[in-house]
Amino acid sequence: MRANLTEVLSALPGAAVGSFNVLDLDMATAVADSAEQLQLPAIIGVASRHFEAIRAPLLAPALRGLMDAYQQPLALHLDHAAPHQLPMIQHALDLGFTSIMIDGSHLEFDANVEVTARVAEMCRSYGAGVEGELGAVAGEEGVADTGSDHAEELPYTRADEAARFIAQTGVDALAIAVGTAHGIYTQEPHIHYDTIRNIAAITDVPLVMHGATGVSDAAIQTSVMAGIRKINFFSGLLQGAMAEVRHSAGNRNNDYLAFKQRVGQGWRGLIEDQMRLYAGNR
Ligand SMILES: [Zn+2]
């Protein structure tokens, strides 16, 4: 069922919805199949850095069709659009994306508010939801191998600033810096649960954690209990696919379809494990 960001998040009260960035229709189908299998809502994401590379404009009709073909609420999300990418945001909204993340976290507070409020306005006329970000998450979205192990050295999001940001922008969800990073960690990150609790205590706006690949199940569970309501997971899907590539590299047959099916099966296993975990193992 086609749903916007708010509809997807409110379909799973008290727990977190998984957001999985995809590079093709196979990956998107794996997300939708997993949602249907577990009867949980899910978010299919396209990172702004992949938008052109995967030809998102050509893929969009199929992704819209996917949302319509499944019973569970599914949102189509543009992930980490930068302040200079307003034309891409407009394009994504025209293509039927139901959720946009504007990442102005590298800007000064007032400039972040300004661009985020502007995107929220653009989204509203389409009935789409908007996610903002306050506080920098380390590493680069969509790049598995740049994981930072120094996330804890970056400042965590402050609750008083989060309250002002939400009030001044009208965001439907807020990504916060709590010690996680994009990409693959070489050591388990230290998550600052009090930051999550403090911000959750002052707002009903769902809080978002980026960089879940490599975070322990226990840390994810504690984060959800503290107030995280959307979790982004991506690098693990690349790891899973590449493991299958390496495993199949010695194959002498040319059965590409069977290979793709094995990759898809691997993705569904990973996605279902994550979705169950975020949903409180229901
Ligand atoms: Zn991210």
At residue 197, the pLDDT reads 96
Name the pTM for this structure: 0.93
**200-257: pLDDT as tens digits:** 999 999 999 998 888 999 999 999 999 999 999 999 999 999 999 999 998 889 999 9
User: Of the residues 79, 94, 110, 145, which is catalytic?
Assistant: 79
Ligand 1 center to residue 260 CA distance, Å? 26
More confident residue, 181 or 66: 66
228 membership: H or E segment, kind and range:
strand 228-233
Would you state the pLDDT for residue 147?
Answer: 47
Handedness of CA 245, 250, 252, 253 (dihedral sign): negative
List of residues 6+ apart from 87 with CB closer than 8 A: none
Ligand 1 centre distance from Cα of residue 135 (Å) = 12
Ligand 1 center to 214 CA (angstroms): 14
Does 79 participate in catalysis according to the annotation? yes
Please give the distance, rounded to the nearest whole angstrom, from the Cα atom of residue 249 to the centre of ligand 1. Answer: 31
Q: Quote the pLDDT of residue 149.
A: 47
- pLDDT digits over 139-197, tens only? 766 666 544 445 445 678 999 999 999 999 999 999 999 988 888 787 788 899 999 99
Per-residue pLDDT averaged across 87-108, rounded? 97
Residue 58: how many other CB atoms lie within 10 Å: 9
**pLDDT of 154:** 60
Residue 91 CA to ligand 1 centre (angstroms): 20
Ion ligand 1: residues, CB within 5 A, are: 141, 210
Domain boundaries, the chain: 5-278
Q: Which class would CATH give 5-278?
A: alpha beta
Name the 3-class secondary structure at 17.
Answer: strand
Residue 74 amino acid letter: L
- Which sign, positive or negative, has the C-alpha torsion 82, 88, 93, 98? negative
Task: Indicate if the pLDDT at residue 278 is higher than 50.
Answer: yes
Closest CA to 171 of 131, 204, 203, 207: 131
User: In this structure, are residues 72 and 35 in contact, taking their beta carbons and an 8 Å threshold?
Assistant: yes
Integer Cα distance of 119 and 53 in angstroms: 23
